[in-house]
């Protein structure tokens, strides 16, 4: 009787009658279904996260900074990116290409003070704790050197005499706009 009841229980569970191989197959199918669902939800979550939080660093766009001719050698421009990041764009040499400029974060990685370019010393200087960086943003003095902290660098390009910097964007609308901007640079960018 006990054996009969056990068999009925398995059948009413939606599976095969008693037997080792059908049960193994049922377990395999359940595991496969579970794995498939987990993979599906994982992929969905990853895509949703990337889409909704694209301002976290994955979405970038080219932003107009200045006309090339308007920035003299050694001069710097304070620039605020759409996501609020503060940059300092500096002309390092004569010429009409992006290589003549640098675009670095102007926020000291030590404790967040503002750095500025000192053309006479050819360095970025942080007055809070006498931190200093070379023109590439590498630390040369003070706490940033001890901690090996750099100034984040941003890509630059020049088109038709206009200087652009590539920075992170903030909103979903900005992210979509950035793709348009990236596909057809040279138009009104702001």
> Binding residues for ligand FES, per CB under 6 A?
108, 110-111, 113, 126, 128-129, 131, 142-144
**CB of residue 78 to ligand FES, shortest distance in Å:** 17
Q: At closest approach, how far in Å is the CB of 82 from ligand FES? A: 25
Shortest distance in whole angstroms from residue 126 CB to ligand FES: 3
Q: Are strands 60-67 and 76-80 parallel, antiparallel or unpaired?
A: unpaired
Closest residue to ligand FES: CB criterion: 131
CB of 163 closer than 8 Å to CB of 65: yes
Let me know the angle formed at the C-alpha of 182 by 180 and 184, rounded to the nearest 5 degrees: 70
Asked if 84 and 103 count as a contact pair (C-beta separation under 8 A), the reply is no
Q: Answer whether 151's CB lies under 8 Å from 137's CB.
A: yes
Which C-beta is closer to ligand FES: that of 14 or that of 112? 112
Choose between 30 and 129: whose C-beta lies nearer to ligand FES: 129
Q: Which of 135, 167, 129 is nearest to 151 (CA)?
A: 135
Residue whose CB is less far from ligand FES, 104 or 108: 108
């Amino acid at each position: 009787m006990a054996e009969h009841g056990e068999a009925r229980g398995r059948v009413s569970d939606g599976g095969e009658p008693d037997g080792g191989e059908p049960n193994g197959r049922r377990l395999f199918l359940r595991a496969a279904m579970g794995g498939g669902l987990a993979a599906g939800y994982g992929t969905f979550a990853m895509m949703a996260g990337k889409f909704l939080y694209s301002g976290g660093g994955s979405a970038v766009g080219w932003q107009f900074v200045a006309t090339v001719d308007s920035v003299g050698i050694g001069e710097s421009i304070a620039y605020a990116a759409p996501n609020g990041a503060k940059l300092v764009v500096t002309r390092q040499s004569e010429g009409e290409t992006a290589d003549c400029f640098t675009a670095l974060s102007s926020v000291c990685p030590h404790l967040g003070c503002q750095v500025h370019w000192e053309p006479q010393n050819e360095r970025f200087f942080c007055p809070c704790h006498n931190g200093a960086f070379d023109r590439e943003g590498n630390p040369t003095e003070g706490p940033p050197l001890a901690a090996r902290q750099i100034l984040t660098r941003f890509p630059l390009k020049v088109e038709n005499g206009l200087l652009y910097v590539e920075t992170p964007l903030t909103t979903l609308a900005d992210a979509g706009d950035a793709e348009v901007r990236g596909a057809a640079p040279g138009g009104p960018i702001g």
